[in-house]
Chains A and B, each alone.
Chain A
Amino acid sequence: MRAICLYLHVHQPYRVRAYSIFNVARDHNYWNTDFYSKQSNERIFKKVAEKSYHPMFDLIEGNIKRFPDFKVSMSITGTWLEQAEEWDPSLIEQVRRMVATGQVEIIGETYYHSLAFFHNREEFESQVARHQSRIQELFGFKTRVFRDTEFAYNDELGAWLDNEGFNKFGFRGMLTEGWDKVLGWRSPNHVYRAPGAVNTRLLLKNYRLSDDIAFRFSDRGWKEWPLTVDKYQNWLDMDCLRGNLINLFMDFETFGENQWADTGIFEFMNCLIERWLSVYENKFVTCSEALELEEPADEVSMPQTVTWADTERDLSAWAGNSMQEEAENILYGMRSEILETGDQRLIEDWRRLTTSDHPYYMCTKYWNDGDVHAYFSPYDSPYDAFMYFMNAIRDLQYRLLNDKKKRNLS
């Protein structure tokens, strides 16, 4: 049997509006802004819903109905769920319908799409727990497979997974990047495990075949453009010589937003699913099924943190400059004081700031080349992103002070 494990990541952050120092201590609204402003979460969500979520959900649901062997796994962040509930609840309804068929698996992660694992273990676990329970409430589904924000992974996280992850949350496996520097001659088309792991396994992204779709599909400078289903099917066949499990992991927004509808991405995907399943031995599997396809081929060790970002595949897009470090250190440094207040709105505002998109907007790595970081940022510059974020932090500090005063009085 040959299997494609298709996994899509669904996420929207709560962007901080152009929150100026003159708003600090006066107006605690960091998130909502004028609909037409650059940072309008509502406008961006509705735009992406129209271009990507709706057409791609429809495509997936259509194929689920047509093919019992078509399976998809999706991770959906808590911040996305909240925005969908507010601005387009039909999307939640549709996910619920798809999950009910048993052909869609939801993957566990941090509710706020944060890098909390690298800052505060307690916060990390509480966000994982919150996500698991929210998915259970909304879809009646218990997550069994985990992914960390930005596919971040290292041996420490592998060890956490095999112990706390398995014992507290029931996770059986985790997804991460199948980066050459780690795998060496080994192929990502097998199941692996972390060093010494006994309870859990790893699935590694086949980044070449994934990125052919996610990044290169519409690149006219690419020598393989235009990518046809025939050609891609051929590559899949060839790649199966290295193992029969093809892990296609990508952002959900690949479909319709990163690759626009007029590139033919939807037709390509529709056709690919049908073509793949037309061969007798071919299947799609969910991540849970993929983990059980075979015994782990080997142990893989990643002492250094790996992510799925940029050519470096490390955390430098989130923690590569001193602004990012300062912002995150101050943010996580406030945690215990914030939680002590028991003020749910304050805690919620603080947690929304843990979303990894915030430090990503402050990335200066390729700022000069005006690349993807600039394209996906709702701010004029990484410096503006930092400024507004820090103003929000100052306001949180102000609220903390006020809260203390109140409690001292009572």
Chain B
Amino acid sequence: MKILMLGWELPPHNSGGLGVACLNLSRALASEGADIDFVVPYTADHSDIDFMKVVSALKLDPLFRYGMGAYDSQKIEEVIIPDASEQKLISIRDVQAKYCDFINEYLMEFKPDVVHAHDWLTFEAGILAKKNYGLPLVAHVHATEFDRSGMNGGNPVVHAIEYEGLVMADKIIAVSKATKKIIHDRYGIPWDKIDVAYNSLDEDFVTSDYSFKADHYKYIEAMKRLGYTVVSTVGRFTIQKGLSHMMHAAARAISKEPKLLFVFAGDGEEREQLMQLAADLHISNNVIFTGFVRGQRLRDIYEISDIFVMSSVSEPFGLTALEAAHHGNVLILTKQSGVAEVLKSVMEYDFWDEEKLADEIVAVSKSGALKSTLQDGISREYLKISWDDIAKKCIQVYNEVSKHKRNNF
């Protein structure tokens, strides 16, 4: 089966989980026999990928990709990228327009069975493929604009594109029931049109050699030896992540158990506000900001941490929770996180319930039995969903929608 994947990024040129998910999904699909052309909006060397054809839609340098991250939908009108070929500055909207032009041309030659578009970034190109070439469209939703805006408004342009893509798609794949519910409730899409395919851990993350590099976080290690429990969170510091609730909960927990160290790993627009808040709550001494981390340093944080908190107001899936589980962390997740739907050996709370989060952190730090029961349980659960299962689900969806393929074009 020939698939045209409309993507925005692939590792190592990724700004977040979207690229990782796309790569793993495509790899699993290819081993199920799918023949994939994967389109990205930049030009870079992806010669290490041998299971599919990576196609560049624009001659952009991937360096600029970081500036137009898939998640920064608030900045879409901002002028951020110098276009080397045309000697002028362009925005994400311009990139999307050119991406569409490219797809329109590409489909003159390439005749796929299904077009699979990932998030609002490529929905317009997907719609175009459907309108102009009669191709069945699968819209894969990794996050909605409602999630990105912490369920507060969001960018109307993005909403409009998202809505049109969802309406035009023959079938929608959501990364969790929570996301399915948002698509249904907020965009009024029929329940039956949406399938759920969860994410799984990055295969490279699971298989690659890793050993803790002791000199990265010497201070944290020293504190651990003094009996401190390390509580970490990893992600972009945006309203979606609910971090100010977590900071308040940290203060409450510290009032009951002073030997707690909170590690906020990441960066984003809320960073200064969070630092200010830690100071206002008089817990700066117990809170560590690491800045943006990736690779070895990120894994070292997981490794050194005892408890991982996902405090999101709305989290379509939440891959970092699986990564933390891989490193033996106890997980505390908001009930609003998609990943909580597939894990049972976790503690849960509502994102606004600061007292419950504090209670849970204190309970785990005070009880070895609770900690070990949760660790044992999660170690058996976190790999339960495999990319193969997810690929099988996608192929089922492809088979369903390929009935809609129209040949009179």
User: Could you tell me which A residues sit within 8 Å of B by CB distance?
Assistant: 18, 20-22, 24, 321-323, 325-327, 364, 367-368, 370, 380-384, 386-387, 390-391
Contacts and interface: CB of A to CB of B under 8 A. Distances in A.
A367 B377 CA distance: 10
B348 A381 contact: yes
Contacts of B360: 383, 387
B347 A22 contact: no
B344 interface: yes
B151 interface: no
Interface stretch (B116-124, B212-220, B266-274, B368-376): B368-376
Interface string B335-378: 00000000011111000000110111011001111101110010
B373 A390 contact: no
- Top 9 nearest A-B pairs (CB, nearest first) are A326-B369, A387-B363, A322-B369, A20-B359, A323-B369, A21-B362, A368-B344, A21-B256, A323-B373
B177 interface: no
B356 A383 contact: no
B354 to A, nearest CB: 10
A386 B370 contact: yes
Contacts of B359: 20-22, 387, 391
Contacts of A322: 368-369, 372-373
A323 B376 CA distance: 12
A391 B355 CA distance: 13
B389 interface: no
Given A20-B356, A22-B355, A383-B370, A390 B363 contact: yes
Given A20-B359, A21-B358, A22-B359, A364 B377 contact: yes
Contacts of B241: none
Interface string B184-203: 00000000000000000000
B27 interface: no
Interface centre among A381, A382, A383, A390 (most CB of B within 10 A): A383
A107 B348 CA distance: 41
B164 interface: no
Chain B: number of interface residues, binned into ranges: 20 to 34
Q: SS class of chain B's interface: helix, strand, loop or mixed?
A: helix
B370 A323 contact: yes
B381 A21 contact: no
A18 to B, nearest CB: 8
Nearest to B343: A368
Given A21-B359, A364-B377, A390 B367 contact: yes
B373 A21 contact: no
A348 to B, nearest CB: 25
Nearest to B384: A368
19 contacts: A18-B356, A20-B355, A20-B359, A22-B256, A22-B355, A22-B358, A24-B256, A321-B369, A321-B373, A322-B373, A364-B373, A367-B344, A370-B344, A381-B347, A386-B367, A387-B347, A387-B363, A387-B370, A391-B363
B252 interface: yes
A289 B300 CA distance: 69
Contacts of A391: 359, 363
Contacts of B362: 21
Interface centre among B256, B366, B372, B373 (most CB of A within 10 A): B373
Contacts of A18: 356
Nearest to B256: A21
Interface of B: 252, 256, 344-348, 355-356, 358-360, 362-363, 366-370, 372-374, 377, 381
B362 to A, nearest CB: 5
B355 A383 contact: no
A218 to B, nearest CB: 27
B330 to A, nearest CB: 9
A323 B358 CA distance: 19
B339 to A, nearest CB: 15
A381 B344 CA distance: 8
A367 B373 CA distance: 12
A340 B363 CA distance: 28
A326 B371 CA distance: 12
A81 to B, nearest CB: 32
A200 B171 CA distance: 70
A394 to B, nearest CB: 8
A104 B344 CA distance: 44
A391 B370 CA distance: 13
A386 B368 CA distance: 12
A398 to B, nearest CB: 12
Contacts of A368: 344-345, 377, 381
Contacts of A24: 256
B98 to A, nearest CB: 48
B347 A390 contact: no
Nearest to B363: A387
B372 A383 contact: no
Nearest to A394: B366
B73 to A, nearest CB: 33
Contact of A383 (B256, B366, B374, B381): B374
B315 to A, nearest CB: 18
B363 A380 contact: no
Contacts of B363: 21, 383, 386-387, 390-391
A370 B343 CA distance: 12
B69 to A, nearest CB: 35
Contacts of A384: 347
Given A20-B355, A364-B377, A391-B359, 8 more contacts: A22-B252, A322-B373, A326-B369, A367-B377, A381-B347, A383-B345, A383-B346, A383-B360
Nearest to B349: A380
Contacts of A386: 363, 367, 369-370, 373
A321 B344 CA distance: 15
B355 A364 contact: no
Contact of B366 (A323, A364, A381, A390): A390
A380 B349 CA distance: 9
A327 B367 CA distance: 10
